[in-house]
Structure 1
């Protein structure tokens, strides 16, 4: 429908971003915690998606600063193609 009117791309992007927001936490530090405590489903062993040093930097000294600086409403600035590219290639999937 984007060929009919460019606003359809904006609508599709907003729907996709809203779906992402429904399926993730509103807290950056909480998602970092979930990724750090990730377990491999096949063997049940701990398989962190975040390196120990990165986890320490985020959670020990900068948790309040980072949580305060991340503005989730900016996700709505992406167009559909840009958001789907970001989602498919760069965003990690973790159960929470």
Structure 2
């Protein structure tokens, strides 16, 4: 059958069912499976990652981060904060 095995035809049919809205033509089943581009692979990986994150958030209770992570975050935030203005009433010059 055009150099395609029954298993390859079944795989092509299942792929078509999973990814297309309309019924397949004979060409959709008999044509060799195209190679995925880098873009296609990256798209599939992003979709799988998004689905796994969605599943994680639906099935797990997300709590506060561990103490060692909080310590690192506080150190990072302290480096980027603008220092508070000194209280000039205690040691500054008076203009009176």
Q: Above 0.5 in TM-score?
A: no
Structure possessing the higher relative contact order (Cα contacts under 8 Å, 6 or more residues apart): 1
Which range, TM-score by smaller chain?
Answer: under 0.3
- Using structure 2 for the length normalisation, give the TM-score: 0.26
